[in-house]
Amino acid sequence: MYSKNSNKIKKIVLAFFLLGCVVMLLPACKNKSQKETSTVLEMQQQTYLEQKNMSYTSKPVLVIRVILFTILGAVLGGFIGYALYNVVINNFIWNGDIGIICSILGVIAGAILGFMLARSISPIKQNEYIDVETKFVFSQHESDEISTLVYGAAANDDASKHFLPRFSSDGEVQLTIEMQTSLIEKKIKKLSKFQKSTDVLIPVEIKISKTNNLEIKYDGGLQKDRFSYEPDSTYDTYRFFIKNNEKLSQNIKFLFVPSDKADVEIDVVYGTPDYKMVDSMCDIAQTVKFLN
């Protein structure tokens, strides 16, 4: 009788314990889900820092690695050359005292191969190897007119695509900033496999000057959890990442609501000062005028 009651009590205690574990895990899972949802930009920032460290080998490390691989290649090459002489050449090809010559040739060949291998696995830092074609697509809500400005290293040759944006202050204007990436052809051969990856993240900073008689609103495109917004008395600053993937359509939209005559400056900068992976010609400084 006592044994049956004891087992029953144990089952009840175990049930309450399991129920308590479930109750405790549910909030934890919920908080984890909320954290993952709210930290997309933070995770991208961490990924970008890791990618930046992986994208190139510092010069001291590169030099040491090249020296070690060259020495190792020379030693192995010397042994292989001498073994080749003893096993193959001396027995089957030519019975002559050329063991030293074979060893020297092996040392030279091994050193060259070791040097080439060290350089191939240690990519050198490459700056400005990505081109970003940036389109400013303006559309005034009270008309069907759409005006487009095209920027970027590849687009700079066509000056006819550029104009000074002027719009009436009587209506709202939507600006869509479209960003299309590609690798610069003449630098492709110098890039490592990682640097060519479509998962490489590119930092983007958009600064829009504040001015009287003009309200500026985020209007879609890039999701809100993927950019940071920092207002101050002079500029509204948006920071986010785009991928080095020419197949992706990447854009962010703003709505300009003027109440009178106003000028606004828009700056778009790619990369960071310590790592300019995007051609500097792709950075943009543009003034937009709203007239009476």
pLDDT in tens, 52-109: 777 665 566 667 877 887 888 788 877 776 676 666 655 556 565 666 776 788 788 8
Please give the pLDDT value at position 35. Answer: 41
pLDDT tens-place string over residues 179-212: 999 999 988 887 877 888 899 999 999 999 998 8
Sheet holding 284-291: strands in order across? 166-168, 284-291, 262-270, 201-209, 235-243, 227-231
Please give the pLDDT value at position 207. Answer: 96
- Cβ within 8 Å of residue 228, ≥6 positions away: 41, 238, 239, 240
Residue range 118-144: mean pLDDT, rounded: 78
pLDDT for residue 16 is more than 50: no
pLDDT for residue 38 is more than 80: no
More confident residue, 112 or 115: 112
- Round the CA-based radius of gyration of the chain to a whole number and report it: 31
Percent of residues, the chain, with pLDDT higher than 90: 31
Name the helix (H) or strand (E) containing 208: strand 201-209
- What does the alpha-carbon distance between residue 260 and residue 105 come to, in Å, rounded to a whole number? 81
**pTM score:** 0.66
- What does the alpha-carbon distance between residue 94 and residue 86 come to, in Å, rounded to a whole number? 10
Kindly report which listed range (23-37, 183-197, 231-245) carries the lowest average pLDDT score.
23-37
Please give the pLDDT value at position 37. Answer: 39
- What does the alpha-carbon distance between residue 234 and residue 59 come to, in Å, rounded to a whole number? 40
